[in-house]
Amino acid sequence: MAHAKTQELIRYAERRVSENDRLLLNQHFEACAFCAREVRKFEEVLDALKGADLQRARSPVKLCCDAQTLTRTFGFQQTRRSSWDS
Ligand SMILES: [Zn+2]
């Protein structure tokens, strides 16, 4: 059997291959260390991306707080500056 295509490895890592394809790929991974290593790399990347998604989901909250803090700080400074001017 030829090496699995990159696209097939990605689909396998994403658990999006059919049962039949999964069995064929499993057989290939047992015989081919190269593809077995490749698919593990894709699985690691996908895990890392899931982690990044969680981090991204938290950042809007942080950004929102930062924007409020900035607005408050800016508004406070403006008020102080204008009170100094008058
Ligand atoms: Zn292979």
pLDDT in tens, 51-63: 776 666 655 555 4
- For residue 47, the model assigns a pLDDT of 86
Q: Is residue 36 scored above 80 in pLDDT?
A: yes
Neighbour tally for 38: CB within 10 Å: 19
Q: Is the model's pLDDT at 67 over the cut of 80? A: no
Residue 19 C-alpha to ligand 1 middle, in angstroms?
19
Assign 3-state DSSP to the chain and report helix, strand, coil percentages, each to 5: 85, 0, 15
- Supply the pLDDT for residue 27: 96
In percent, how much of the chain has pLDDT > 70?
59
How far, in Å, from the CA of 1 to the mean position of ligand 1? 8
- Taking the centre of ligand 1 as the mean of its atom positions, its distance from the CA of residue 53, in whole angstroms, is 31
DSSP code, position 15: T
Residue with tokens 């991974």: 29
Q: Decide: pTM greater than 0.75.
A: no
